[in-house]
Structure 1
C-alpha cells in the first residue's frame, strides 16, 4: 500500500468541516489533502486563503486546479495509481472543486475523500464518479 493511501485511510471517520484540516476533528476535501501532505511530505507549500464552498464558481476561475498544478505532478487520466490526487468537476460547466485520493485501482477502484454530510470516507470509484474526474496528479517526490 502506498504511504499516501495509508495516510488518507487514517483520516477515515473525520467529520466534514469546511476549511479545516485536523484529523479526527474535521476537514473538507482540501483539508484532507493538506493533512495527508503534512504527514507524507512535510510543511504545506503555501498558505491557504479563506475560501467559500462554491470555490470561485460564480467567477468561473479554476483556482483549485491552478493550485494543484503549482504543487503536484500532472498525470494522464488513464495512468491511475494508488495515492493519486483526483480532481472532480461535480457538474458539467462548473469549476472543478472536489478532491480525492485514489486508494485502489482496477475493478474494485476506490478513493478517499471528505464529503459534505458524510465526513472522510472511502468510496467506490463508480462510473458516476469516474466521469467527473478532470485531472489526476501525483504527489511530488520527497527531498
Structure 2
C-alpha cells in the first residue's frame, strides 16, 4: 500500500503540468482520485512493482504521467506534444537517464530482442502501422497493456495489445538495458 501511495504521488508530480496544486499531498491525492487516475492505473502500477526492478517501475509511473498529452508528429515534449518514439525517448531520458535514438526503427535496432512471452513492464513493444517494420513503438506496462502516443488527433493513452488491431500489427519486443542490470545476448 505504501508503494502505491508513493507511486500515486510520483504520478501526480508528473501530472503537475495539467493540474496545478499547492504542493499539498492530500490535494494531489484528491486531484488524482477526481481524474480517475488511481482507479485506472492501480493494477498496472502494482504489476510493475511486482514484476520488475525499481528503475523499470519508476519508468512505467513516469510514462503514466504523460497520459492525455496530445499527439504531434515529431513532438518530443509535454509542451509540443509527443509522437510515439518521442514519448518513449522522453520517458527513458527523464526517468532513468537513458537516451534512446529518435525514431522507432532506430530504437528497435538499439535495444535487446526479447520474445513476447518475456515482456515485463518497461519493455518496448513495436508495431507495423505504416506498412513497414517498427513504424510504431510503445512502452509495455503489464497485463497485456502498453502506453503510447497513437496518431494525429489522439493523445497519450494505454491500450490492450490483445485487441485485434494491435495483435495483427505486433512487430516485436525489445528490452532497454539499464545501468546495473545484466543483459543476455541479443537474439
TM-score by length of 2: 0.58
- Deviations 1:117-136 (CA, angstroms, capped at 9, x unpaired): 21101112223212321111
2:177 corresponding residue in structure 1: 140
- Deviation at residue 28 of structure 1 after TM alignment: 0.3
Name which of 2, 15, 20 aligns with 2:75.
20
Q: Which runs of 5+ in 1 are unaligned?
A: 49-62
Q: Normalized per residue, which structure has more strand?
A: 1
| Deviation >6 Å, runs of 4+ | none
- Deviations 1:53-81 (CA, angstroms, capped at 9, x unpaired): xxxxxxxxxx74344222x2221122121
Q: Say yes or no: does 1:65 pair with 2:101.
A: no
Matched ranges for 1:1-143 at <5 A: 1=48, 2-23=57-78, 25-42=80-97, 44-45=99-100, 48=102, 64-70=104-110, 72-90=111-129, 94-105=132-143, 109-116=144-151, 117-128=153-164, 129-142=166-179
Counterpart CA distance in 1 for 2:106 and 2:75 is 20
Q: How many residues align?
A: 123
1:52 corresponding residue in structure 2: none
Counterpart CA distance in 2 for 1:68 and 1:94 is 13
SS at match of 1:96: coil
Distance 1:4 1:30, change over 3 A: same
Q: Which runs of 5+ in 2 are unaligned?
A: 1-47, 49-56, 181-187
- Deviations 1:9-65 (CA, angstroms, capped at 9, x unpaired): 11111110111111254010011001111113326255x4xxxxxxxxxxxxxx743
Larger relative contact order (CA 8 Å, sep ≥ 6) = 1
CA contact (8 A) 2:92 2:100 kept: no
Counterpart CA distance in 2 for 1:100 and 1:79 is 16
Distance 1:101 1:40, change over 3 A: same
TM-score by length of 1: 0.74
Which has the larger Rg?
Answer: 2
Counterpart CA distance in 2 for 1:13 and 1:141 is 27
